[in-house]
Amino acid sequence: MSGYLYLGIAIAAEVVATSSLKAVKGLSTPLPLLLLIVGYALSFWMLTLVVRSIPVGIAYAIWAGLGIVLVSVAALFLYEQKLDLPAVLGMGLIVSGVIVIQLFSSSTGH
């Protein structure tokens, strides 16, 4: 399997886990707690597979950057947490950084 497929799975699992944090409510809700534990475990397992073919710094930058943006989008829909203009602009810069890495960096492993 491609390192980028593993990276996509790692990002998706991390987004599910992080989005579940608010719903855990002090460990009293079993389903969000299960999503949190399984999501983070799957995410880090996939990251161990990712770094076999993608440099760790590049993989982490993509994982963290896209995770921030996707968790914010999930929070908008799940918890109605709206972002102000500076937050949206900052996330735009994060996405721009990931795009620059993918298009122009010779360190990406492809």
Residue 25 banded pLDDT, cuts 50, 70, 90: confident
As a whole-number percent, the residues of the chain with pLDDT over 70 amount to 96
CB contact at 8 A, 69 and 91: yes
Q: What's the CA gap between 28 and 12, in Å, rounded? A: 24
Tell me, yes or no, whether 87 lies in a domain. Answer: yes
pLDDT in tens, 36-71: 999 999 999 999 999 999 999 889 989 999 999 999
Token digits of residue 81: 């947490």
Domain count within the chain = 1
Token digits of residue 88: 């949206």
Domain with 89, as residue range(s), is 3-104
Tell me, yes or no, whether 110 lies in a domain. Answer: no
Q: What is the DSSP letter of 44?
A: H
Predicted TM-score (pTM) of the model is 0.87
